[in-house]
Amino acid sequence: SKDGFEHYMLKEIYEQPKVVKNILENREEIYNSNFSKEELEQIDKIYIVACGTALHAGQNGKFALEMLTGIPVITDIASEFRYNDVFIDEKTLLIVISQSGETADTIGALEKGIRYKAKTLSITNVMDSTIANMTEKSMFCNAGPEISIASTKAYMAQLTVLFLLSLDIALKLKAIDTQTFDKVLASLKEIPEKINIVLKDLTAYKEIAKELKEVNSMFYIGRGSDFITAKEGSLKLKETSYIHSEPFPAGELKHGTMAIIDETSKIIAVAAQSGLDAKTTVNVSELKDKGAKVFSIGTEENEVLKNNSDITILIPKTIDLLVPMLAVVPEQLIAYYTALAKGNDVDHPRNLTKSVISE
Ligand code: M6R
């Protein structure tokens, strides 16, 4: 049931604090589903392969895995990976991520990984799914059934599992000490309450939705994991509101796209990571100079961003690694309210299915 919410999408957005909390409380299950220290010591590279939103979770996972474990990570789109030349052998860990556990391309990618003798690990939201049953190790998101075609809480669950997995691998390989482990875990435990803060006041999201509902095309920008968040926001908006949007790294603006920008342009800028937000803020002021409308997602500390944006959504501070868990929530709500403002069938966007079982 929708628990009093108008749509499953909104209900599932609001379930996110609980989803994170559940996984954290049962985190031993994640650690126990991981490879052993001895097995992990044989790995020299990690591939993360998935489709759509699950791939975006994986792209954030790459930042965490590389930073905490020092092992190089390659991410790939399942439908590309399965037909491209890839560099996998028995020293490769192949991580596949899939909410449904039934996505045809992800299964195809996994079959290829198995053929090349990679170690395989899956992160799914359906325990007895094809993908979960095919991999040596399977981690369960436990987010509850996700009904809305636009994925929200499953993404949040995938991020949580990926961060715990990264911590566990890093500790087993002694790439981090227990203090670092505890510090990241403590920050993770604060995330549910911080998501609740983002969910409290909906005014800004509705205001932005009002501005977006009339546009045919728009942009999302960001750097580092803020760019991944921009990609996820863009996909969510396309899916639910049918507005064309293009996400790209903020630094790429000057290499072509800036030529499009004029007074009619609308941009969502994600500038939430402390290391990179100042750089993206410079791009925001350049966009303002060209007359564009900019809606930004940032933190309290960035006054310049606020001064240069038409509307700024402030998210609570956390460590940079975990910023994607907070920065995505405003985007989900913007997509939801824009779709609603357009009168679209939010939970069942046209031309899409929940589980893509043919390639
Ligand atoms: O079930 P999966 O996670 O394998 O599905 C992958 C994509 O089809 C899915 O994430 C899709 O992009 C969502 N509808 C996005 O909201």
Q: What is the rounded CA–CA span in Å between residue 53 and residue 108? A: 18
Among residues 185, 151, 184, 152, the alpha carbon closest in space to that of 27 is found at 185
Cα-Cα-Cα-Cα torsion 286, 291, 293, 299, nearest 10 degrees, comes to 30
Residue nearest to atom 4 of ligand 1 (CA): 98
Residue 37: count of CB within 10 angstroms of its CB: 12
Closest Cα to atom 14, ligand 1: which residue?
Answer: 150
Structure ipTM:
0.98
Pocket of ligand 1 from Cβ distances under 6 Å = 51-54, 98-100, 103, 106, 149-151, 235, 239, 355-356
Closest C-alpha to 78, from 125, 6, 131: 131
Residue 296, C-beta contacts closer than 8 angstroms, at least 6 positions apart: 268, 269, 270, 271, 284, 305, 306, 308, 309, 311, 312, 313
Tell me how far the alpha carbon of residue 25 lies from the centroid of ligand 1, in angstroms. Answer: 26
The whole-angstrom separation of Cα 269 and Cα 221 is 5
Which ligand 1 atom sits closest to the C-alpha of 354?
14
Mutate to test the pocket of ligand 1, among 48, 51, 148, 354 (most ligand atoms within 8 A of CB): 51
Q: Give the phi and the psi of residue 199 in degrees, each rounded to 5.
A: -85, -5
Measured in angstroms, how far is the CA atom of residue 98 from the centroid of ligand 1? 7
Query: Whose alpha carbon is nearest atom 8 of ligand 1?
Result: 52
CA of 279 from ligand 1 middle (Å) equals: 31
- Strand 266-271, strand 217-222: pairing: parallel
Partners of 314 in beta bridges? 298
Each residue's pLDDT expressed in tens, for the chain with a length of 359 residues:
899 999 999 999 999 999 999 999 999 999 999 999 999 999 999 999 999 999 999 999 999 999 999 999 999 999 999 999 889 999 999 999 999 999 999 999 999 999 999 999 999 999 999 999 999 999 999 999 999 999 999 999 999 999 999 999 999 999 999 999 999 999 999 999 999 999 999 999 999 999 999 999 999 999 999 999 999 999 999 999 999 999 999 999 999 999 999 999 999 999 999 988 889 999 999 999 999 999 999 998 888 899 999 999 999 999 999 999 999 999 999 999 999 999 999 999 888 888 888 88
At 132 the pLDDT is 98
**298 half-sphere exposure, CB direction, 13 A CA radius:** 31
Distance (Å) from CA 332 to ligand 1 centroid: 14
Q: Which residue has its alpha carbon closest to ligand 1 atom 10?
A: 53
Instruction: Give the model's pLDDT for residue 355.
Output: 86
Measured in angstroms, how far is the CA atom of residue 350 from the centroid of ligand 1?
15
- Helix %, strand %, coil % for the chain, to 5? 50, 15, 35
Task: Give distance in angstroms: CA of 150 to centre of ligand 1.
Answer: 8
CB contact at 8 A, 161 and 28: no
Atom 12 in ligand 1: residue holding the nearest Cα: 52
pLDDT of residue 287: 94
Spatial distance between the Cα atoms of 94 and 81, rounded to a whole number of angstroms: 11
pLDDT reported for residue 359: 86
Ligand 1 mean position to 2 CA, how many Å?
21
Structure tokens at 282: 């410079």
Substitution site in 9, 13, 53, 346 for ligand 1 pocket (most atoms within 8 Å of beta carbon): 53
Instruction: Give strand pairing partners of 245.
Output: 218
Q: Edge-to-edge strand order for the sheet containing 266-271?
A: 244-249, 217-222, 266-271, 293-299, 311-315
> What's the confidence (pLDDT) of residue 185?
98
**Other beta carbons within 10 Å of 95:** 27
Ligand 1 centroid to Cα of residue 355, in Å, is 7
Residue 106 CA: nearest ligand 1 atom is 4
